[in-house]
Amino acid sequence: PTSNPEFIIGHYADNHFYKELLRYYPENTRYLSGMAEIEMLRNNDGKALVLYQKILDLDPQHLQAHIFVTNYYFYATEKRRNMIEQEFNKIASPSRIQIANYRNEMAQVVKEKYEEAKPLLEKVLFLFPSSEVKKNLEKISRLEKEFIPVK
């Protein structure tokens, strides 16, 4: 769609429109959300994330912002976890040290990254009951049990 001039002109016009509105109403979550959607369509997820986080600062119950931020962190973590697993699975016969390193890397991802996504997922589940969010929370719990030792 990016080669379609009407699509490009439409996004440019929308972008300009929201920028103008936000000059006068910088804390309007509807306008911030519209701008964030445009950034997503342009594959500027980092810019969209900043806008959605600003929305959450202004309106902690904003469902759309919660869903985007949650998905952003959860799927970035999934990507990292999958990379670790793929690298480990390339080893035909891993040594104890390689297994320990794999488990440590996985524990770090689960502890640091999934723990960042977990409260966000819980908030989305509270605001909007979703079987997908529930499955993701169950996945995090399963990974916590597997890779984080009980103290």
Q: What is the pLDDT of residues 7-45, one digit of tens each?
A: 444 555 677 888 888 899 999 999 999 999 988 888 899
- Give the pLDDT confidence score for residue 16 in this predicted structure: 80
* pLDDT given for residue 19 in this prediction: 86
Q: Which of 12, 84, 66, 64 is nearest to 42 (CA)?
A: 12
- Residue 151's pLDDT is 65
Which sign, positive or negative, has the C-alpha torsion 141, 142, 143, 145? Answer: positive
Q: What is the pLDDT of residues 80-94, one digit of tens each?
A: 999 999 999 999 999
**What pLDDT is stored for residue 10 in this prediction?**
52
What pLDDT does 3 receive?
Answer: 47
Q: At 31, phi and psi to the nearest 5?
A: -75, -40
Q: Among 5-9, 71-75, 94-98, 135-139, which stretch is predicted with the lowest mean pLDDT?
A: 5-9
* Average pLDDT of every residue of the chain: 87
- With beta carbons less than 8 A apart as the criterion, state whether 55 and 32 touch: yes
- Residue 8 has what pLDDT? 41
What SS3 string covers 54-119?
A: HHHHHCCCCHHHHHHHHHHHHHHHHHHHHHHHHHHHCCCCCCHHHHHHHHHHHHHHHHHHHHHHHH
Whole-model pTM? 0.75
